[in-house]
Amino acid sequence: MPGCSRSVSRATGVFAYGAALGLAVDRLVGDPRRGHPVAVFGRAAAGVERALWRDHRGWGALHTAVCAGGTVAAGAVAARTARGNRAASVALTAAAVWAVVGGTTLGREARAIGGALAAGDLEVARERLPHLCGRDPHSLDGPAMARAVVESVAENTSDAVVGALFWGAVAGVPGLVGFRAVNTLDAMVGHKSPRHRRFGWASARLDDVAGWPGARLTAALATVAGGDPRGAVRAWRADAAKHPSPNAGPVEASFAGALGVRLGGTLAYGGRVEHRPVLNGEGRAVEVADIERAVRLSRRVTGLTLAACVGGRLIVSALKRRNA
């Protein structure tokens, strides 16, 4: 079936060129200051929540289906519309990748906090920390903020970059936008506040499922790209399961081992204190300079993810041609 093989090859080329272009645009300009597509989705999802909210898992599942399912459907319609035009398909893929990944902004925010900490300006660091993670900055001293930044860089490398590219390689534009929609819904309603304990259950579980392959890919690539592969593997195997999140555990543990630092421990979210297990207990305490090391590791992982996703699609294409 040569026609089918050519179609598969074209789809692989569209993803490869589009993803590379989208990552290049993100590297050059980062996220827009206003009108970011993810922010637009967030406002729409909040409106749907106001209409559907009940303290019930079923209504929460409906909210997830409407928001995530609608986003996937919109992505599928856009991809089908552009399908006959290779240039349009590449441009659409590039736009979707740029909209859903956040590697450049992640690095900028981490470095801004690192710069403030290096200058001894804890107040500026505390002001910027909420841009990166949801922890209570006023309960953190300098070393604790540095550790929070490294942990956020690790986790967001999986959530904001690797997971999206993985699902883009699997399902094209619908996979890209669908993954980011699920991840955003989890951030909005997937936590254990009184309002969202039941309503957000479906979003949290779906995010766990969607994030599973990207988290393991992130951990594997961090092991390859880090400075201590044996330490990364050791920390991943020994400590990942101790983390309360099934996906953040492998990512943070592998980053900790690769960087030779200790992550985890006591943290605070909105006045709620959590005592999490230590990841890579053999490592040293995080220092401000480790923020830059974590950002560089994140960028290497991003490049390797693109190569792995394109390579995976090429292998699948070759197998399909062989069996055609």
d(CA 59, CA 130): 30
d(CA 99, CA 39): 10
d(CA 188, CA 102): 17
d(CA 225, CA 170): 23
The per-residue pLDDT for 316 is 87
Other Cβ atoms within 10 Å of 241 Cβ, number: 12
79 in Cβ contact with 172 (< 8 Å): yes
The per-residue pLDDT for 268 is 60
191 in Cβ contact with 219 (< 8 Å): no
> CA dist 81 to 12, 76, 85, 270, Å?
18, 9, 9, 44
**DSSP notation for 163-209:** HHHHHHHHHHHHHHHHHHHHHHHHHHH-S-STTTTTTTHHHHHHHHH
The per-residue pLDDT for 6 is 58
The per-residue pLDDT for 318 is 83
- Which pair of structure tokens corresponds to residue 162? 């690797």
One-letter amino acid at 198 equals R
Question: Looking at the chain, how many residues does it have?
Answer: 324
d(CA 122, CA 242): 31
**To 10 degrees, the CA torsion angle through 67, 73, 79, 80?**
-170
The per-residue pLDDT for 220 is 98
End-to-end CA distance of the chain: 5
At a CB cut-off of 8 Å and minimum separation 6, what does 148 contact? 129, 132, 133, 135, 140, 267
φ and ψ at 287, to 5 degrees?
-115, 165
Residue 275, strand partner residues? 266
d(CA 182, CA 124): 32
The per-residue pLDDT for 208 is 97
The per-residue pLDDT for 43 is 96
Q: Is residue 226 helix, strand or coil?
A: coil
Of 287, 98, 72, whose CA–CA distance to 178 is shortest?
A: 72
The per-residue pLDDT for 252 is 97
What is the domain partition of the chain in residue ranges?
2-323
pTM of the model: 0.93
Per-residue pLDDT of the chain (324 residues; tens, 9 = 90+): 554 555 657 888 999 999 999 999 999 999 887 888 999 999 999 999 999 999 999 999 999 999 999 999 999 999 999 998 999 999 999 999 999 999 999 999 999 999 999 999 999 999 999 989 878 888 888 999 999 999 999 999 999 999 999 999 999 999 999 999 999 999 999 988 899 999 999 999 999 999 999 999 999 999 999 989 999 999 999 999 999 899 999 999 999 999 999 999 877 665 566 778 899 999 999 999 999 999 999 999 999 999 999 999 999 888 887 886
The per-residue pLDDT for 133 is 86
The per-residue pLDDT for 10 is 82
205 in Cβ contact with 245 (< 8 Å): no
